[in-house]
Copies of this chain bind each other. A is one copy, B any other.
Amino acid sequence: MKFKFSSASSSIKYSDRDDTALLYADFPCNVSALFTKNKVKAAPVKLSMERTNNKIQAILVNSGNANACTGQSGYETARKLAQKTAIGLKIDEESVLTASTGTIGIHLPAARIEKSIPVLVETLDENKITDFAKAIMTTDTVEKVEQISFSDEKNRYTMKAVAKGSGMIAPDMATLLVFIVCDAPIPKTTMDKIFKEIIDSTLNSLSIDGDMSTNDSAFLLCPSSGLTISEKTINEFEKSLKTILVNLSNKLIDDGEGATKRVTIEVKNAKTVDDAKKASRSIAESLLVKTALFGNDPNWGRVACAAGYSGADFDPDKMSISIGPYILFENGSVCVFNSSEVTKYISQQNYTITVILNAGEFSWKFLTSDISYEYVKINAEYTT
């Protein structure tokens, strides 16, 4: 049972690098998949959504073009490319998924990608995951690959993961794509449950810029087998998946467009878990908070303000706010703090802002990056 990877150049947008990639399993897999909730879904998302209950063996991916807002003909292109991939791999057409990332509203150069398929098929290799990761990058500055092993009573398993982009609920136009493969034969219902739960607290709890792409997709592939799986295997699988998704989340934030910081926003003692999510997300996505992070400005007032308009139910007079070990606002009262000491503390790259709502027992964490000049530059100059 092997997972193989390859990449090729189709000159879709970038002419000096690979932009087409293939993931292949030499055995049928179950897939758990999560897709963008945007109403405007790219063609590859629509195609893959139809196939998540199939046994899957391959995913064809391209960068440089999102194949979004391309109508029925864009969908037909995605379907045709999946079909050509299936023919090349001698597998069932319905066992191929697709994913795209890049500019919206331009038709995919199908002929050039089709030409790359034989190359992709011929060069498949267990050790080419980094080539795969590089080929699917857009505004990413580094490829993002994770690998972890775990054992149960009898076997040793490997989990490998690739990601590109900036965030699931809040990704930039570059789209979040995640591919995770594991050779442990976890049942599909278990995969689905665990994948959704962990994604919620990792990829769905990070913010670069608050936009939600047309192409976001996360895939988890495990061998489809009738084998029964022990409790221990499932626990180890879950732990490994969590580790991989936490590591990928950190890498995604660190490589956020123009980002110079990775800051954890922790909201504690909210009335409901939904309130904790709302408040942490609102703070994490506030442009004023993000620019303050960039400016190393311990402007906790902007944090209080963003919590206030989040929709979470709490009494501002009971709220407390800390940055790292420094309490800046406690039970609704301004604290005396050494401003230059706090400024020095937040000049580091990673730290935590904690907001205690004192309204209940629920907590949530959200990862955020800062917004820098570089962010504006990248997004003012990208595309067309």
- Tell me the complex Cα distance, A72–B334, Å: 11
On chain B, the residues within 8 Å of A40 by CB distance are: 304-305, 307-309, 316, 319
Asked if A38 is at the interface of the complex by the 8 Å CB criterion, the answer is yes
Contact with B along A310-329 (1 / 0, CB 8 A): 00101011010000000011
Asked if A294 is at the interface of the complex by the 8 Å CB criterion, the answer is yes
Question: Which residue, of A372, A377, A380, has the highest number of chain B Cβ atoms within 10 A?
Answer: A380
On chain B, the residues within 8 Å of A106 by CB distance are: 334
Q: A residues 348-380 with Cβ under 8 Å of B?
A: 371-373, 375-377, 379-380
User: Considering only CB atoms, which chain B residue lies closest to A172 in the complex?
Assistant: B288
On chain B, the residues within 8 Å of A333 by CB distance are: 71
- Tell me the complex Cα distance, A70–B39, Å: 43
Asked if A299 is at the interface of the complex by the 8 Å CB criterion, the answer is yes
Interface size for A (C-beta < 8 A) is 68
Asked if A140 is at the interface of the complex by the 8 Å CB criterion, the answer is no
Is the Cβ of B291 less than 8 Å from the Cβ of A380? yes
Is the Cβ of A69 less than 8 Å from the Cβ of B301? yes
Would you give the shortest CB distance from A243 to chain B, in whole angstroms? 30
- Tell me the complex Cα distance, A301–B69, Å: 7
Is the Cβ of A287 less than 8 Å from the Cβ of B209? yes
On chain B, the residues within 8 Å of A213 by CB distance are: 305
Among candidates B72, B308, B381, residue contacting A295 with C-beta atoms closer than 8 Å: B381
Asked if A383 is at the interface of the complex by the 8 Å CB criterion, the answer is yes
User: Considering only CB atoms, which chain B residue lies closest to A333 in the complex?
Assistant: B71
User: Considering only CB atoms, which chain B residue lies closest to A378 in the complex?
Assistant: B291
Is the Cβ of A69 less than 8 Å from the Cβ of B299? no
- Tell me the complex Cα distance, A37–B311, Å: 10
Asked if A146 is at the interface of the complex by the 8 Å CB criterion, the answer is no
Asked if A298 is at the interface of the complex by the 8 Å CB criterion, the answer is yes
Would you give the shortest CB distance from A48 to chain B, in whole angstroms? 17
Asked if A59 is at the interface of the complex by the 8 Å CB criterion, the answer is no
Asked if A212 is at the interface of the complex by the 8 Å CB criterion, the answer is yes
On chain B, the residues within 8 Å of A71 by CB distance are: 317, 332-334
Instruction: Assess A105 versus B297: contact at CB under 8 Å? Given A39-B308, A287-B379, A308-B214.
Output: no
Asked if A60 is at the interface of the complex by the 8 Å CB criterion, the answer is no
User: Considering only CB atoms, which chain B residue lies closest to A102 in the complex?
Assistant: B301
Is the Cβ of B371 less than 8 Å from the Cβ of A376? yes
Asked if A100 is at the interface of the complex by the 8 Å CB criterion, the answer is no
The 19 sampled A-B contact pairs (Cβ below 8 Å) are: A38-B308, A39-B309, A39-B316, A40-B316, A69-B301, A69-B316, A104-B304, A173-B305, A291-B375, A291-B376, A291-B380, A292-B379, A294-B376, A295-B381, A297-B382, A297-B384, A298-B384, A299-B382, A299-B384
What residues make up the interface of A, taking CB atoms closer than 8 Å to B?
36-41, 66, 68-72, 103-107, 172-173, 209-214, 286-288, 291-292, 294-295, 297-302, 304-309, 312, 314, 316-317, 319, 328-329, 332-334, 339, 343, 371-373, 375-377, 379-384
Q: Which 10 A-B pairs have the closest CB atoms?
A: A104-B301, A295-B380, A40-B308, A291-B379, A38-B308, A212-B309, A39-B308, A105-B301, A40-B316, A209-B287
